[in-house]
Structure 1
Amino acid sequence: MSISIVLPAKNEAEGLRRTLPALRSAYPDAEIIVVDDGSSDETAAVASAGGARVLSSPYSMGNGAAIKRGARAACGEVVVFMDADGQHGAEHIAALLAKLGEGYDMVVGARDASGQANFHRGLANAFYNRLASWMTGHEVIDLTSGFRAVRADKFREFLHLLPNGFSYPTTSTMAFFRSAYPVAYVPVEVSKRVGASSHIRPLKDGVRFLLIIFKIASLYSPLKLFVPTAAIFFVAGMGWYGWTFYETGRFTNMSMLLFSASVIVFLIGLVSEQITNLTYQKGDGRT
C-alpha cells in the first residue's frame, strides 16, 4: 500500500523538527504532507527543509480544515493522520498499518489515562467514549484521538461532514461506524508535546465539545436521542396529570403541553432519522 502521512500544523516548528526526521527515517518512501494552518512561526520553512510537501493557508482555518486539505491532496491509498507537536511517534505507525491490513478501514491510536492532557480532559473524553459506545453499539476506546490510519477512498466519502474545528476525529469515527466500515483501536503511548501550547481553550471549547455530544447523536442515530427525550416529556405529562387529577379532578394545560412536547420531539426525531439516512447515502454507495 502506498502511504501518505498528513500533519496539520499551526505554529509547530519545534515539534516538526523532532517529528519529520523520525518519519522520513522510518518511512522514506511515504508522502509526507504538512498543512500549515496560517502559522506565524517557521512551520512552513521547517517542514519544507524536512522534506515534506507543504500546503499553506493564508490564515488559520482550523484543525479540521487542515485535515480536509491534506486528505484531498494525499496520493496514497492509506492516509495516516498525526499531530505535528511531537506527541505521536513514528514508531507507532507500523502497528496501525498492521491492523489496517487485517481488513479494517480505520485504525485509531488509543491513548491511556496518562496520554490525556489533564484530568478534566480525561474525564470529558471518557464521557465521549461512553456516549459513542452507546450510540454505535461498539466499544469506542478513544473517540477524540487524532492519530489514525484510514483507507483514503473511504475517508474522502465523509469530507463534507467534517467540521473545520477540532472535532474531526469524533465525526469521522462516527461516520465510519454509521456506514459499516470496520474500525479498530491500537494502544499507543503519547509523548509530551513540544513547541507551542495547545490551541484548545478549556472554557470555549468545553461548550463546543458539549454541543458535539448532541451532534454525535443527531449525526449517527437521531432516534437514540429523541426517543428518550420524548419519553421523558411523556412520563412527566402522565405524572403531572395523575397528580392534578388526584388533587383537583381535572386535566390541566401543563399536562397537555408536556404531552404535545413529547409528540413533537418524537416526530422531529423521525424527520432527523430520514435526513441522516439521506446524508449517508453517498457513504453507503447509493449515489
Structure 2
Amino acid sequence: MSRISIILPAKNEAAALKDLLPRLTAAQPGAEIIVVDDGSTDDTRAVCLAAGVQCLSSPYSMGNGAAIKRGARAASGEILVFMDGDGQHDPADVARLLARLDQGYDMVVGARDWESQAGVGRGVANTVYNWLASRMTGQVVADLTSGFRVTRAARFREFLHLLPNGFSYPTTSTMAFFRSAYGVAYEPIKAGQRVGKSHIKPLKDGVRFLLIIFKIATLYSPLKLFFPASALFFALGCVNYARTFLIEGRLTNGSALMWSAAVIIFLIGLVSEQITALTYRPVESSEMRK
C-alpha cells in the first residue's frame, strides 16, 4: 500500500488545528501529517507538537503556494493529500478521494457545491473560472480553485517550479496536469465554514482573481486566448474600413491600426504558445529517460 502524506498549509490556524488534527489522525492513522506554518504568530506550532504532528515553520509568511511547495518537498509519501488548515475540509472525505485516485487518475480534486462557496462573489468567480477552464481544456472542470486534492507525488513535483507562492497554486497545478495529459477527476465534497478570519482581502485579491483568468489560458494554450482577440481586432478593422470607404471613399488610420493590432496580438499568442511548450519540454524529456 502506498504511503500517504497529508500537507496542511497554515497561517494562524491554531484554533482550527486543535480540532482538525486529532480527527485527521483518527481518519488516516498511518499517514504522515505535515503542517507548514507560514509565519504564524499564534501557537500553531505548539498545537502541532501537542498532537504529535510534524510542523515546518517559516520565519515569516511566504504565501500559501510557498507552504504547499515546502510541504511537497518534505513529504515522504508516494501520495500527497493537500487540505486547508482552517477546518473547512472533512478528514472523512480523504478516503473517498484516495479511492478515486486508485481508479487510475493522477489527481483527484474535492469539488465544492454552491452551498460550500465562501459567499456569492466567490461562488460567481469560481463558476467563471470553471467554465473558462472547461472551454480551454475540453474537459469538465468542476472546481478549479479547490485546495482539497490528492495527487501522485512524482507527478505533482514535476510542476513545483511552475507553482506561485500565492493562493493560485490549485489553478496552476490543475492546468499543468491537463497540459501534460495527466488524468484529473473530481469528487463532490461539502466544505464547512472556516474557523477564524479569512486571509483573503477582497480588494487586493480581486485583482489576483482577474489574473487567474489569464493564467488559465497561458498555462494551457495561450493561442486559444490570443487568437480570438486577434480575430476581433481584424474584424473591427474590416468593419471600420467598410464604413469609411462608403462614407469617405478611403482607408483610414483607424482600420490600419486595428489590423496591425490583430497581427501583433496573434504573433504574441504564437510566441507564448512556443514558450509554454518549452516550459513543459524538460518534464517530458525527464520522463522519457526514466
> What is the TM-score with the length of structure 1 in the denominator?
0.98
The one-character-per-residue Cα deviations of 1:23-42 (angstroms, maximum 9, x if unpaired) are: 11121211000000000000
Report deviation, 1:91.
0.3
User: Offset at 1:286?
Assistant: 5.0
Runs of 4+ in 1 over 2 A off after TM superposition: 282-287
Q: Following TM superposition, by how much is the alpha carbon of 1:282 offset from its aligned partner in structure 2, in angstroms?
A: 2.9
Does 2:61 align with 1:60? yes
**SS in structure 2 at match of 1:85:** coil
Deviations, residues 139-190 of structure 1 (Å, cap 9, x unaligned) = 0000000000000000000001111000000100000000000000000111
Shift of 1:85: 1.0
Shift of 1:283: 3.2
1:187-246: CA deviation from partner (whole Å, max 9, x where unpaired):
01111111x311011111011110111111112100100100000100010000000000
Partner Cα separation in structure 2 for residue 114 and residue 242 of structure 1:
50
Tell me the distance in 2 between the aligned counterparts of 1:23 and 1:12: 15
1:260 matched to 2:242? The reply is no
Other-structure match for 1:109: 110
Quote the Cα distance in structure 2 between the aligned partners of 1:282 and 1:182. 20
> Which residue of 1 is the match for residue 208 of structure 2?
208
Q: Within 1, Cα distance between the matches of 2:282 and 2:138?
A: 22
Distance 1:58 1:187, change over 3 A: same
5 Å matches for 1:163-178? 163-178=164-179
Which SS does the other structure have where 2:9 is aligned? strand
Partner of 2:272: 272
SS in 2 for 1:161: coil
Write the deviation string for residues 113-136 of structure 1: whole angstroms up to 9, x where unpaired: 111010111000000000100111
Give distance in 1, aligned partners of 2:75 and 2:259: 52
Ranges in structure 2 where 5+ consecutive residues have no aligned partner: none
* Structure 1: gaps of 5 or more residues: none
Whichever residue aligns with residue 258 of structure 1, its letter is M
Give distance in 2, aligned partners of 1:268 and 1:87. Answer: 41
Q: Which moved more, 1:128-137 or 1:44-53?
A: 44-53
Matched, 1:155 2:156: yes
Note the C-alpha offset of 1:54. Answer: 0.7
| Structure 2 partner of 1:42 | 43
Aligned 1:80-229 pairs, distance under 5 A: 80-194=81-195, 196-229=196-229
Partner Cα distance (1:48, 1:58) in 2: 17
Q: How far 1:255 sits from its partner (Å)?
A: 0.8
Amino acid corresponding to residue 93 of structure 2 in structure 1: H
* Contact kept in structure 2, 1:157 and 1:282, CA below 8 Å: no
What residue is the counterpart of 1:281 in the other structure? 281
Letter in 2 for 1:229: A
CA shift for structure 1 position 12: 0.2
- Distance in 2 (alpha carbons) for counterparts of 1:233 and 1:178: 28
Alpha-carbon contact 1:179-1:283 (below 8 Å) kept:
no
- Alignment correspondent of 2:245: 245
- Cα distance in 1 for partners of 2:15, 2:68 equals 20
How much has 1:48 moved relative to structure 2? 1.6
* Shift of residue 284, structure 1, vs aligned partner: 2.5
Q: Say how many residue pairs are matched.
A: 286
SS in 1 for 2:192: coil
Per-residue deviation, 1:72: 0.5
Identity %: 67
Q: Could you say which residue in structure 2 is the equivalent of 1:231?
A: 231
One-letter code of the match for 2:249? G
Question: 1:57-114: per-residue Cα shift (whole Å, max 9, x none)?
Answer: 0000000000000000000000000011111111000000000000000000000011
SS at match of 2:56: strand
Give 1:254 shift: 1.0
> SS of the counterpart of 2:20?
helix
Query: C-alpha distance in 2, partners of 1:112/1:215?
Result: 23
